[in-house]
Amino acid sequence: MVEDGVDTTGKEAPSVAINTRKLNLWYGTFQALFDVDLDIRQGIITSMIGPSGCGKSTFLRCVNRINERLGYVRYSGEVNVLGHNIYDPAVELVQVRKQIGMVFQRPNPLPLSIRENVLFGHRIHNAGRPSSRSAEDEIVESALQTVLLWDEVRDRLDHKATTLSLEAQQKLCIARLLPVKPSVLLMDEPCSALDPKGTEAVEELIWELRGEYTILIVTHNMAQARRASDECIFMLMGKVIEHDDTGQMFVTPQHRETADYIEGRYG
């Protein structure tokens, strides 16, 4: 529990990384989000659960402005990331994408070498300021070390990324984000294409990244949400029903709809 910015254990509570107020979104005439108010704390892992079509991925795409690529989408309300309204006209999209990384359901490595994949975002965001070969080598090694992939690929950095296993490809996609130094990582079903062993490995990686990054994961996997997140958000029909400590929500949910979903009565 957090009261007045202080955890009841006596520790200072983490600050809020993502804050939304009265967030509504429409796909044409269909309303997908209804008055979403959320405070997602900095430096922890927060999972979003709920049945298909409840608005989880739509919310995720609001946080890095992917939805605006669709001409028939409109929204109202606020989305603040680290204290800044990312929809403010003065905010540049490139800065939003630099601060907020995105990992998708299926690994999407570029059809380039492992090394070039890691450096791709770094080079885009540092156009006109090329790094030396040695500096880039350090960037590649650091990113791959962080995602626990360095030992596996260090001798084949010039091989195509698409030759890696799906598990390694997903780790590489996370590594590709790190040189840009994002503050927030958004993950949309990051393990859905992986086998149980790959899922375990990626979950362990996500937990390793906890603290250094604020991580928001959308998942249909209830066991994954329970074991791999600090807090959990349950959504239903475009609305936030419950947001609580993960252990608390799964043991003693406060709303009947949450209990019904967790216990498998629908969804």
Residue 10: CATH number of its domain: 3.40.50.300
* Alpha-carbon span 255 to 169, nearest angstrom: 38
β partners of residue 33: 25
Residue 10 is predicted with a pLDDT of 52
Question: Does 131 have pLDDT greater than 70?
Answer: yes
| H-type alpha helices, 30-186 | 56-63, 93-99, 114-125, 133-146, 150-153, 166-177
Is 267 contained in some domain? no
* Alpha-carbon span 224 to 212, nearest angstrom: 20
Domain count, the chain: 1
Residue 185 is predicted with a pLDDT of 95
- Render pLDDT for 33-61 as a digit per residue (tens, 0 to 9): 999 999 999 999 999 999 999 999 999 99
Is 228 contained in some domain? yes
Average pLDDT value for residue range 153-158: 96
Alpha carbons within 13 A on the beta-carbon side of 35: 1
Is 196 contained in some domain? yes
Q: Which amino acid belongs to residue 234?
A: F
Residue 167 is predicted with a pLDDT of 93
- Render pLDDT for 97-111 as a digit per residue (tens, 0 to 9): 889 999 998 899 999
Question: Does 11 have pLDDT greater than 60?
Answer: no
Residue count (the chain)? 267
Q: Residue 75 burial (CB < 10 Å; 0-12/13-18/19+)?
A: middle
Can you read off the two tokens belonging to residue 249?
Answer: 């929500």
Q: Residue 92 burial (CB < 10 Å; 0-12/13-18/19+)?
A: exposed
Q: By residue range, what is the domain housing residue 63? A: 2-262
Is 47 contained in some domain? yes
Q: How many CB atoms lie within 10 A of CB 265?
A: 10
